Amino acid sequence: MNGALEHSDQPDPDAIKMFVGQIPRSWSEKELKELFEPYGAVYQINILRDRSQNPPQSKGCCFVTFYTRKAALEAQNALHNIKTLTGMHHPIQMKPADSEKSNAVEDRKLFIGMVSKKCNENDIRVMFSAFGQIEECRILRGPDGLSRGVCHSDSLPSTRCAFVTFSTRAMAQNAIKAMHQSQTMEGCSSPIVVKFADTQKDKEQRRLQQQLAQQMQQLNSATTWGSLTGLGGSPRSTWL
């Protein structure tokens, strides 16, 4: 079996091969299977090993393929950056393998803004189910469990925002075309916003832009203050 747990039947056509890091080097396929099986039946596990050693030693990472895409995503949601295994200093890292990146979650995940406060996850799912299979639907909530609003007004209740992940990017694109600014929901001051959710790269670029803008503002303020103090000093130097 070449270090893999295999079955005679095949996984679903849309199953995802996941890369998993931050696992103990001492773990075997058996322990990994026990870790993953609560989220769904496992088709195959391959531990990455250093072949230069005899016998080959685990590199502390593996590939796992579930029979269903749903099981893989549930495992990722429960484990990635959340669960730290005994003896490890960092939480598990779990993401689609490089060969799966063309269908990465970030390419299929939508941000939905200006949603009525009266809507829940099921309402959002119903609104967008016409565009294809939805893998995840989540209203953004704070640590207190309350939904986070994206606009506040004395006369309007805070609106909600949500994330919807489709099975394919094409489904997400169709949802954007049909739904973006298509209606103004109850309690909202502007039409619904439907766009691709920011990736980690987008967030980092925006943070850098904000830092640069702050630095420029500080520099301009310092230059202006220097000019003013210079002007103020000219008459005094004349008297001296």
> What are the pLDDT digits (tens) for 57-84?
999 999 999 999 999 999 999 999 999 9
The residues with which 32 forms a beta bridge, in sequence order, are none
Is the pTM higher than 0.75? The answer reads no
Q: What pLDDT does residue 230 have?
A: 60
Low-confidence stretches of the chain (pLDDT beneath 70): 1-8, 98-103, 141-158, 226-240
Q: Are 76 and 94 in contact (CB under 8 A)?
A: yes
Give the pLDDT score at 155: 38
Q: Which amino acid is at 87?
A: G
Q: What is the DSSP letter of 116?
A: -
Q: How far, in Å, CA of 77 to CA of 88, rounded?
A: 19
Q: Which residue has the tokens 């995503």?
A: 73
Question: Is the bond into 55 cis (omega within 30 degrees of 0)?
Answer: yes
Instruction: Write down the H helix ranges in the chain.
Output: 29-36, 69-79, 121-128, 169-179, 200-239
pLDDT at 124: 95
Q: In what order do the strands lie in the sheet with 17-21?
A: 42-50, 57-66, 17-21, 93-96
- Determine the Cα–Cα distance for residues 181 and 194; give it in Å rounded to an integer: 7
User: CA 181, 120, 162, 125: dihedral to nearest 10 degrees?
Assistant: -70
Q: Residue 227's pLDDT is what?
A: 66
Q: Where are the alpha helices (DSSP H) in 58-199?
A: 69-79, 121-128, 169-179
pLDDT for 209: 87
Looking up tokens 């230069």 gives 52
Per DSSP (E only), the strands in 75-142 are 93-96, 109-115, 134-139
- Tokens standing for residue 169: 């990017």
pLDDT recorded at residue 109: 92
Give pLDDT, residue 59.
Answer: 93
Taking each helix axis as running N to C, give the angle between helix 121-128 and helix 169-179, from 0 to 180 degrees, rounded to the nearest 10: 90
